[in-house]
Structure 1
Amino acid sequence: MSQTIVFHTPAQARAWQRWLIYSPVARIVIFAALAFAVGFAVHGAMAALGWMSKTATPLQHAVAGLSIELVSTVVSYIVLVMVIERRRMRELSWRQVPTYGLAAFVGGFLLFSTVVGLLWVLGSYHVLGINNHVNWLPEVLIAGVGAGVGEEIITRGVLFRIVEEGMGTWWALGISAVFFGGAHIFNPAATLWSSLAIAIEAGILLAMVFHVTRTLWACIGLHAAWNITQGTIYGIPVSGGSEKGWLLSSRTGPDWLSGGAFGAEASVIALLVCTSVSVVLLMIALRRNSIVRPSWSRRVSASYAATPTA
């Protein structure tokens, strides 16, 4: 468990510091405030360059959106970890990119390809042709890199990790999954079902990936590959967004099977495939005995352990 919990409140911290700086709620609020401030500044810079105007090119729009998301989240997370928590940022070590990051990227491609393969077998997914002239770079930057890095830092690096330190793994899984699903409720074609599906299939899966590997690169690789494979390769809407991909495709059948206008993420097939992987990861965590108990439970256990026996 000591390897799972990477931050402990400094012993010399004063009472007000424990509540206003080092507590889980305080650190989450500090990150959110920093991300908003930095994002606002970057947004202003991109607007000044004209890259957010109606006359800007699709690539300029993509670079502007990517800059806002990456700079705000990465800078804020660096400040949170290195200034507030005062520790090494092991979960974003560059050494893990060729291993965990690449393996998870391949895994994400295979995972979504499995979903598409099953939809094809069931007669829901159809390939109509090939679009050799698709402008794939903007979507890769926004849906792949931007969503992969930005959303994983926020949801798994900040929310899941910090809640797990305070309330334990089970609460962290539930809270981060609900947050992740709820964050997609305002997407085009979103429904309560699509948000619930996202919460279960992606929110729980990605949280378990982080819990088992303790590296954000695994989450980033899986998330980015899932989005790129879904939209850029198979031509399926990514969370209700663009559906222009290398393959021209269509999906037929009831929405519970095809996912409807939101995309295959709202399909029962995606839900079952991802949940199966989550169950395997949960079994690994249970076998390792890495499930973190709430902080109040750990304190009680520590006090019993410290009690001298007769």
Structure 2
Amino acid sequence: MELGARRVLRPGRLRWLRALAWAVLLFVVVVASAMTTTQVLISMLPPDAGASKLLAYLASVLVGLGAYTLAVRLGEARQPTEIALRPMLPQLLAGVLIGAAMFAAVMAILAMSGLYDIRAQGAAPAWVAVGKALQAGVVEELMLRAILLRLVWLAFGPWVAFAVSAALFGFGHLGNPNATVFAAICIALEAGIMLGAFYVLTGRIWMSIGVHAAWNFTQGYVFGAAVSGAELGPAIAHSTARAGTPEWLTGGAFGPEASLPGLVVCLVVGIAVLWMAHRAGRFSVPRGELLRG
């Protein structure tokens, strides 16, 4: 996990402040480039476009990754190893399998406990669900892990970085439909810690992207549950919390990621991956140096 040590991040006076200012600038560059690409391309498509919308989401992902790469090369004088291409496919695939299995486990617990009803609906186009899940996985992992976690780590160390990135990830969802403070806390503790742990363990964001995207896709398309309070698009099933069940157990209208089973499953995985990263020495290297993985 390379934190950066050149140009804007060179050692010296006010390095912490330069790192934070650089994080803000990178945030703006990645979000503006990716989201503008999506809005422009989708506005040119008819409402019923399916595969074409997937291409628009893929284009926004590529633009976001390209903007991040260019900015890091110019501002930090390095190749961004956190998005190195060689380990991309195996780490993405591993993340996809882990993310899908985790959410399936959450739904199994909810259904077997009588807290959720799952009803099959039959075949449904997956274009939009794949596009939205992939865009969320790539753009949000660039923002929260490759940018925020990395640069706050450089400024203040790993534990402050984990706390800040997890809190912003969780409470950044308060603007979503049906959001509650409990839902934000759940996302901060489960996804904020777990996805950051995968990044620290591997030194890349690909596994975090795979877990994030697969979790959203499995949640919204396979089970047809709400994804952070909203619908992902057409789904092959429809899942809802049973009436009269406590929201802290089911997630309510926000979705299963705000449920107690979701919190427990993700925390168990996140703590396990953090332990693996600690055992591998990922937290023992001085700030600014390269964590070899």
TM-score bracket for this pair, using the shorter chain length: 0.7 to 0.9
The correspondence of residues 260-275 of structure 1 with structure 2, limited to 5 A, is: 260-275=252-267
Distance 1:121 1:44 in 2: 41
Instruction: Note the C-alpha offset of 1:50.
Output: 2.9
Aligned equivalent of 1:105:
96
Q: Which has the larger radius of gyration?
A: 1
Aligned equivalent of 1:303:
none
Instruction: Note the C-alpha offset of 1:286.
Output: 2.5
Paired letter, 1:231 = G
Q: TM-score scaled by structure 2?
A: 0.86
Distance 1:163 1:100 in 2: 24
Percentage of identical aligned residues: 29
Whether 1:96 and 2:90 are equivalent positions in the alignment is: no
Distance 1:159 1:12 in 2: 14
Distance 1:216 1:176 in 2: 14
The correspondence of residues 147-186 of structure 1 with structure 2, limited to 5 A, is: 147-186=136-175
Aligned equivalent of 1:121:
112
Instruction: Note the C-alpha offset of 1:156.
Output: 0.5
Q: How many residues align?
A: 286
Distance 1:60 1:276 in 2: 37
The question of whether the paired residues in 2 share the 8 Å contact of 1:73 and 1:154 is answered with no
Instruction: Note the C-alpha offset of 1:190.
Output: 0.7
The question of whether the paired residues in 1 share the 8 Å contact of 2:38 and 2:60 is answered with no
Whether 1:38 and 2:33 are equivalent positions in the alignment is: yes
The question of whether the paired residues in 2 share the 8 Å contact of 1:28 and 1:159 is answered with yes
Q: TM-score scaled by structure 1?
A: 0.81
SS state of the match for residue 50, structure 2? helix
Aligned equivalent of 1:141:
131
Instruction: Note the C-alpha offset of 1:85.
Output: 1.2
SS state of the match for residue 120, structure 2? strand
Instruction: Note the C-alpha offset of 1:73.
Output: 2.7
Instruction: Note the C-alpha offset of 1:57.
Output: 2.8
In structure 1, the gaps of 5 or more residues are 299-310
Aligned equivalent of 1:301:
none
Structure with the bigger RCO (C-alpha within 8 Å, sep 6+) is 2
1:238-260, Cα deviation, whole Å (9 max, x unpaired): 11111642123332122111110
The question of whether the paired residues in 2 share the 8 Å contact of 1:241 and 1:262 is answered with yes
Cα distance change, pair 175–262 in 1 and its aligned pair in 2 (3 A): same
Instruction: Note the C-alpha offset of 1:81.
Output: 1.9
Instruction: Note the C-alpha offset of 1:41.
Output: 5.6
Paired letter, 1:50 = M
Whether 1:86 and 2:81 are equivalent positions in the alignment is: no
Cα distance change, pair 102–193 in 1 and its aligned pair in 2 (3 A): same
Instruction: Note the C-alpha offset of 1:210.
Output: 0.5
Distance 1:92 1:127 in 2: 37
Instruction: Note the C-alpha offset of 1:151.
Output: 0.6
Aligned equivalent of 1:288:
280
Instruction: Note the C-alpha offset of 1:34.
Output: 2.4
| 177-186 or 80-89, larger mean C-alpha shift | 80-89
